[in-house]
Structure 1
Amino acid sequence: MTTRLPLASKREVRRWAKRVAVEHRREFSVMLGLFCLATVVGLAGPQLLGKLVDGVVEHGTTLQVDLLAVAFVVVLVLQAWARKAARLRGRMFGERVLAQTRERFVTNALDLPLGTVEAAGTGDLLSRATTDINRLDVAVRFAAPEILIAAVTLLFTTIAMIVTSPLLALALLVAVPILVPVNIWYQRKIPSAFAWMLDRWGDLQSITHETVEGARTSEALSLTERRVRAGHHALDQATLGERRMRALQMRWLPSLEISYVLPIAALLLLGLFAYSQGWAGLGTITTMLAYAQAMTAPLSEALFWLEDLQVAIAATRRIIGVQPAESADKVTEVPRGRDIEVRDVRFGYTSDREVLHGISLSVPRGERLAIVGPSGAGKSTLGRLLAGISAPTAGSIRVGGTEVSTLADDVLRGEVLLLTQEHHTFSGTLRENLALPARRDGGDWTDEELMAALASAGAAEWAAGLPDGLDTKLGSGAYAVPAGLAQQLALARVVLADPHTLVLDEATSLLDTGSARELERSLNAVLEGRTVIAIAHRLHTAAAADRVAVVEGGRITELGPHQDLIAAGGPYSRLVEAAS
């Protein structure tokens, strides 16, 4: 069953925003200062316009009118420059915040337990790393600065209106009965709608990714139509999320449009009454109307960008919800022994479906154990538990007397290492791909050590033929690495990691039978003295093991040496007979 990665709470998002502002307080202060400067300069425009009207009405001199007109133009130019500078600073601030957020997200994602990532599925993490980051990008670089400009403009303009004419400023109050209740209703509804919509888009991305990755498997098992239906259903759900969000916005936006048109109408009526009573001149009324009109543009900008900001807030909850695993109560001491004890282990991916049913097993140090059985029997699941990737729901798995699931990751990977049939070649040099395991004594791996590891994995000849040797760039856009060689590079990394117990889950499956046997022979010397637990369908691996465990239906049905199990004529014997 696929589980979801957690979402950050609203409080955590606020803490994140506060921390960002503090960490970048200089850039934030400069940006905010420029926004305020642009607004203050802009406030002078309506005042000059009002004086210009009064000058014309009172028959002022031509020079006075010309000076006021020139001053008005200068104010407009200065305001345009200040806004441009503020927006530029806002973009620069946004880029820094975005870069830092990306780096922290990658760091936190890499610190997640492998079991957590696999349970959530690659699609959830992928959608947070791509789509959600892009949404945050738009908000930080565009939406947030524009809304900040609008907010500062509205605040300063309101103050200027109150200072200019407290009586006429009362016209602004007509918008309050509409704005307050509608916004309270909207802000209660929209966060959950956005979160639900983003989850549905994450599901769609996950299903699409998995369908593409497993296209051949789906076709081989005649599951293509089922995958297509799953994709259509996920798309329908994502579309439904968009429609729900739009429905809320269609109820909310008209009220906002009305809320900033009504004050202008009220101001005209109130201004007419004030002028007739001699309480306000035409210049003052003109200034107030200019201020009210000036408020419509920032309100429109805010409305235009508000959706992006709200989506980004929901996306931010998903991004900062990816937090490193808690390291509390983890054992950091290396176990004294190396024997593995499995006692009455039970495990289920969901609470209502148990996969392993009371497995008990002892693996002494240095033994080679082969685990065989039909597909879906629980072999790979048992391997994951032995490697500490997942913890049993009941029972215990101990290495040297220490529970595997309680070991800190850096200690665990030095004790037990799982090598599966899925391998990845990172974009970088061959040296960088090999040097991922840390040296126990610190420092860097020497060329001789790296080449020796490659030789153990049967890839030394291939590496020697590369154009730049260990410094040859591999991966996307560089030297292509076939699947079989990627598997050999993974085995070379295992040699460098030097664990005392190695769990091989179809680790040579991408090699042909002859190459796999040759590689296993070359690894024999390297694996000498280590505990090796091999999960394989190729039964020649089992024949060379010290003991064979047959897993059927989540239980060990047979356990013993190859020859003894063949002589017993049980499940193992039937598997060998079917494979021959």
Structure 2
Amino acid sequence: MSAATSLPVAGTRTVRRYAGALVRRHPRMVWGALLLHVLAAVAALAAPRLIGDLVESVEQGTTTDHVDRIMLLLAGFVVAQAVLTRYARYISQVLAEKVLADLREDFVGNALALPLGTVEAAGSGDLLTRTSRDVDQLGWSVRMALPEWTIAVITAVATFAAALSVGWWVALPCLLGVPPLVIGLRWYLARAKDGYLRESATYSQINATLTETVHGARTVEALGLGEERVRAIDEDIADSFAAERYTLRLRTVFFPSMEISYLLPTVGTLLVGGWLYLRGDVSLGDVTAATLYVQMLIDPVDRIVSILDELQMGAASLARLLGVADVPDDRTATDRVPDGEELRAQDVRFSYGSGRDVLHGVDLHVGAGERLAMVGPSGAGKSTLGRLLAGIHPPRTGSVTVGGVALTELPLDDLRGHVALVTQEHHVFVGTLRENLALAAKPGATEDDVRAALAAVDALEWADALPEGLDTVVGSGGLALTDAQAQQVALARLVLADPHTLVLDEATSLIDPRAARHLERSLAAVLEGRTVIAIAHRLFSAHDADRVAVVEDGRIAELGSHDELVAAGGSYAALWESWHGRS
């Protein structure tokens, strides 16, 4: 149970290009939201100017009617700001949901396109964290943080422009806050992204360790590995704690330094404005308006800085989600069309990652319509060879072809029409039994086709006996199917997919031997004329096959019919005798 290899993380340029592309998909909503936010910000800026004029008029002497008019104007601008802000936020939220929906669809598409070998090497923890925590974090950033940050930026720019309209001198105290703001931002941004990426990576490792421990619970218990697994999880949590402590330290240094940049402009405006007022260069109304404008700058600037922290986490999550698309494809589709359905492996060698080869120069020819059984001890390489014959993995060297065309040169849709793999692993999706089966059906499949597929795998009787028949909801939250029933559903999907060649890797291992024997006989009738490669420990599969391939230490040690191999007295004969209890 070693740590898995992490999936890649997209670079900053990729993140920016993708974010820009998402925004460009909805130009009308983007410009509409920006326009409404600008108008709302302008409406909010009327208050300081009106209050400044009111202070100045009171100083010089005014009437009740004048005060009433100013108050009515203030009320009108407040109402206008509220209405504009409401619709601006509404459009921003709708835009955010559309953008998030686009992003989720892109991510799901990229995740489904991942080479299976890459998914297995990365483990479930990393991909699970990206599909859960990273999507949730990015969802919050897109729905809340990004719209709020956009509003804050527009408000800050408009407020600063309004402050300068009072007089050029207002720029001087505002500039006092720039040095600590720039220094703090540069220090923080240089460290934040790597810190949050490390934080997310530790969550992936925790998920990976927990998932491996749960999946291997029986092994852990049988070998007494409980304390070791607890130590591994403790180490992962310690790494996560250190990563979170680092990002927390960034925030505790960054945010207090920002407070200084907020206070200096306000104090400076009062001092400079007061000095100019005493000199007679500005009016009391100008000083009042300038101070209020500078004071108003604190809130949007504070939101810009505060939300920037959330945006950093969102950007880190987006980089992890986009990194899935950076995984290189393990196949190059061509326009070549297979000439027949013969499978051929020539000098095939294969290794997982950069480790040693688990297959060593395998040569194998499987004729169209032939039934081949692959047997051998656990760890000999049977399943690995089966996966290469199904086009799941490309060989490290050598070739695996169907009709003279390499499996890795066929588009996935075409490949699955030629060869498909069913393993002892299976999944029942949330939905009706009919919907679960229709996932694999070809376009135009009828109700009779679905029922025929169930009958072919000996599952029609129990399927009809379900509370609502084929319309019974199964999967998480629905009716729980037994392991044997779920495996039969997987096999029925295979029948509906109608590939020419089937690779069955322990496909009936979860069904009791008597039922499995009956099931395989039923399948034999349905799959007549198709090529079948059966990987199994139960040697009755080999007895019924046209030929048997004995795999040992990553090589084909023996190849021939059941009778030939038994007569040869080699490894297969020893396995057959042992299986019958005659050793």
1:341 pairs with 312, 319, 344, which one? 344
C-alpha contact 2:375 2:382 (8 A) present in aligned 1: yes
**Match of residue 44 from structure 1:** 46
Match runs of 1:415-434 below 5 Å: 415-434=418-437
- Cα deviation for residue 551 of structure 1 reads 2.1
Distance 2:495 2:10 in 1: 40
Q: Work out the CA distance in 1 between the residues paired with 2:331 and 2:366.
A: 29
Following the alignment from structure 1 to structure 2, what is the Cα–Cα distance between the partners of residues 244 and 578?
60
Shift of 1:8: 2.6
**Secondary structure of 2:534's match?**
strand
Q: State the 1:438 CA deviation.
A: 4.5
The 5 A counterparts of 1:423-502 are 423-439=426-442, 443-502=443-502
Amino acid at match of 2:452: A
Q: CA deviation at 1:326?
A: 5.7
Q: Does 1:62 align with 2:64?
A: yes
The CA deviation at 1:315 is 0.8
Residue 383 of structure 1 contacts residue 503 of structure 1 at CA under 8 Å; is this kept in 2? yes
Q: Deviations over 1:255-275 (max 9, x none)?
A: 211111111122222112212
Match of 2:280 in 1: 278
Q: Distance in 2 between matches of 1:51 and 1:500?
A: 85
**Alpha carbons 2:331, 2:409 under 8 Å: kept:** no
Q: Structure 1 residues 278-287 or 221-230, which shifts more?
A: 221-230
Cα distance in 1, alignment partners of residues 421 and 193 from structure 2? 41
Moved more, 191-200 or 213-222: 213-222
Q: Is the 8 A contact 2:344 2:365 kept in 1?
A: yes
Equivalences for 1:494-533 in 2 at 5 Å?
Answer: 494-533=494-533
Shift of 1:346: 1.1
1:107-157 CA-to-partner distances (Å, cap 9, x unmatched) read 332233333322322222222222111111111111111111111111011
Residues 332 and 411, structure 1, Cα contact 8 Å, conserved in 2: no
Counterpart of 2:349 in structure 1: which amino acid? R
2:113 aligned with 1:111? yes
CA–CA separation in structure 2 for the residues paired with 1:249 and 1:534? 58
Q: Deviations over 1:71-108 (max 9, x none)?
A: 33443343344333322332222222222322232233
Change (3 A) 1:449 1:334: farther
Equivalents in 1 of 2:401, 2:339: separation in Å? 11
Aligned counterparts of 1:496 and 1:272: Cα–Cα separation in 2: 84
Look up the SS of the partner of 1:491 in the other structure: helix
Q: Partner of 1:537 in structure 2?
A: 537
2: CA distance, partners of 1:223 / 1:392: 35
1:472-500 deviations in whole A, cap 9, x for unaligned? 33222223221111111111122222222
TM-score, normalising length from structure 1? 0.94
Determine the structure 2 residue equivalent to 1:557: 557
Aligned equivalents of 2:406, 2:226: Cα separation in 1: 42
Q: How does 1:112-511 map to 2 (within 5 A)?
A: 112-323=114-325, 329-439=332-442, 443-511=443-511
Shift of 1:332: 4.3
For residue 355 of structure 1, give the secondary structure of its aligned residue in structure 2. Answer: strand
By how many angstroms is 1:399 displaced? Answer: 1.6
In the alignment, the residues of structure 1 paired with residue 574 and residue 268 of structure 2 have an alpha-carbon distance, to the nearest angstrom, of 91
AA aligned to 2:135 is: I
- Gapped runs of 5+ residues in structure 1? none
CA distance, structure 1, for counterparts of residue 447 and residue 337 of structure 2: 29
Deviates more, 1:7-16 or 1:344-353: 7-16
Kindly provide the amino acid, as one letter, of the partner of residue 338 in structure 2.
Answer: P
The separation in 1 between residues aligned to 2:394 and 2:516, in whole angstroms, is 31
Q: Is the 8 A contact 1:111 1:325 kept in 2?
A: no
- Show CA shifts across 1:304-344 (max 9, x none): 32222111111111223333976984134441122222122
Distance apart, 1:51 and its partner CA: 0.8
Higher mean displacement: 184-193 or 560-569: 560-569
Residue type matched to 1:265 in 2?
A: V
Contact 1:157 1:295 in 2 (8 A): yes
Give 2:431's aligned amino acid.
G
Alignment check: 8 A CA contact 2:376 2:551 kept: yes
Contact 1:179–1:259 (Cα < 8 Å) also in 2: yes
Letter of the structure 1 residue corresponding to residue 106 of structure 2: R
1:446: how far off? 1.5
Gaps of 5+ in 2: none
Greater Cα shift, 162-171 or 557-566 = 557-566
Contact 2:336 / 2:405 at 8 angstroms: preserved in 1?
no
SS at match of 1:510: coil
Q: Assess if the C-alpha contact under 8 Å between 2:117 and 2:393 holds in 1.
A: yes
- Partners of 1:190 and 1:118 in 2: CA distance: 30
1:328–1:377: structure 2 CA closer, same or farther, 3 Å change rule? Answer: closer
CA contact (8 A) 1:333 1:411 kept: no
Amino acid at match of 2:414: V
Using the TM superposition, name which of 137-146 and 68-77 deviates more: 68-77
Q: Distance in 2 between matches of 1:118 and 1:80?
A: 53
Superposed displacement of residue 301, structure 1? 2.4
Residue 220 and residue 531 in structure 1: after superposition, are their counterparts in 2 closer, same or farther (change >3 A)?
farther
* Alpha-carbon distance, 1:449 to partner: 1.7
**Aligned mates of 1:376, 1:87 — CA distance in 2:** 59
Match in the other structure for 1:97: 99
For residue 40 of structure 1, report the CA deviation from its aligned partner: 0.3
**Contact 1:334 1:411 (8 Å CA) reproduced:** no
Match for 1:571: what amino acid? S
Q: TM-score, normalised by structure 2?
A: 0.93
The answer to which of 9-18 and 379-388 deviates more is 9-18
Instruction: Give the number of aligned pairs.
Output: 577
Q: Bigger shift: 515-524 or 29-38?
A: 29-38
